[in-house]
Amino acid sequence: MGKDAPPRWDRRMQQRLARGEAAALGELYDRFASLVHSQAHRVLDDDAAADQVTREVFGYVWENPDAYDPKQGSMRSWVARLTHSQAVHRLREHERAAAAESGGSAEDLEQKVRRASVAARADYIVTSMPAPLRAALELAYFQRRDYRQTAADLGVTEDEARRRLRLGLQLLATANTRVRDGSSPPGPGRRR
């Protein structure tokens, strides 16, 4: 994914959406649809359900552009939070229905939702982190490089490689803590 849009772009996009500019929705969709779909798919593990969540999220953004608050973060982060919230809501509905049929417990449901939320948050963190951090983590994790090999592959000092790996891992560690706090914004299908 690319870098987050500058706040000025976010404010202008919100204003264009509030005026009802269909082209603004198209531009927003082009920019964030892959993020929304991949995050929803990570939670739901179902293409059709991820497609539906994608439609719901962009529908919500179109109908509620004033719900975005630039003081709370970038539009990209807002759209990601909406996606996460809607995907988790849909997962809970699906799992509740499945649990009612099979006699599963509410605790099992919440544990499954928590695992899916952590995984989706970790995916979002990795795709949102700066390219140098992401490259270092990918070398260390997927290619099983230690910090020395990572430094050589990236053409940086060993200290810099360690710093990138440490910071990347610290960011990833927040995936679990952010989900445990239980906060989720209102989104498609829910009201405060």
- What gap in Å lies between CA 53 and CA 90, rounded to an integer? 8
Maximum CA pair distance of the chain?
Answer: 57
Q: How confident is the model at residue 185 (pLDDT cuts 50, 70, 90)?
A: very low
Model confidence pLDDT, tens digit, residues 33-66: 998 999 999 889 899 999 999 999 999 999 999 9
> Full-prediction pTM beyond 0.85?
no
- What gap in Å lies between CA 114 and CA 111, rounded to an integer? 5
Q: Are 61 and 21 in contact (CB under 8 A)?
A: no
Q: How confident is the model at residue 187 (pLDDT cuts 50, 70, 90)?
A: low
Model confidence pLDDT, tens digit, residues 97-148: 776 776 666 677 777 777 777 877 777 777 777 888 889 988 888 888 898 9
The residue ranking higher by pLDDT, 4 or 150, is: 150
Q: How confident is the model at residue 177 (pLDDT cuts 50, 70, 90)?
A: low
Percent of the chain beyond pLDDT 70? 84
Model confidence pLDDT, tens digit, residues 61-74: 999 999 998 888 88
Task: Report the number of secondary-structure helices (H) and strands (E) in the chain.
Answer: 8, 0
Q: Are 13 and 75 in contact (CB under 8 A)?
A: yes
What pLDDT score was predicted for residue 118? Answer: 80
Q: Are 58 and 29 in contact (CB under 8 A)?
A: yes
